[in-house]
Amino acid sequence: MSENQRMNDVSVDRREEIVVTEQPGYAASEQVSRDVAAERRLRLALVTQIIWGILGVLEILLGLRFALKVIAANADSGFAAFIYGITKPFLAPFTALVGTPKAGNTVFEVTTLIAMAVYALFVWIVVRAILIAATRPTARTVRRSVREQTPGGPGNERTTDTTRRG
């Protein structure tokens, strides 16, 4: 016979379940505890990895823009036009912040460097706030108790208890 019992379903953050299996001469119970809050924090940690990945792509694009401006790349070439076009919206808030030194066709675009620093700082703050909420690494505890009764009466019992996290 097997039955499932909810032990502590009132709590929002923690759920426990005990599964009992009984057969003649054998009884086993397994207690599964789910920490719902920890599972949520683990999902948030995955979100932070995605955020860092998006920042990495943005930083690469802005770095390419800066390098193309410094080496005076032809703005009419397809690659340069693509990089300039895709990064332009991200530089819009910083456009008139400081002057842009020029030497011939070479442009030292300081606003790009400032944008890279500001976006990195902003993402770092957001990720730190998320990681503060995700501090507990384990989300599940399993406790198992097995009682075996061998032939010969009630004195011939063996009980094994194990607890596992992860």
**Tell me: the pLDDT tens digits for 5-32?**
333 333 346 677 777 777 877 777 777 7
The residue count of the chain comes to 166
pLDDT at 62 over 70: yes
pLDDT in tens, 69-107: 999 999 999 999 999 999 999 999 999 899 888 888 899
Between 135 and 54, the higher pLDDT residue: 54
pLDDT above 90 coverage of the chain, percent: 42
DSSP code at position 92: G
DSSP code at position 14: E
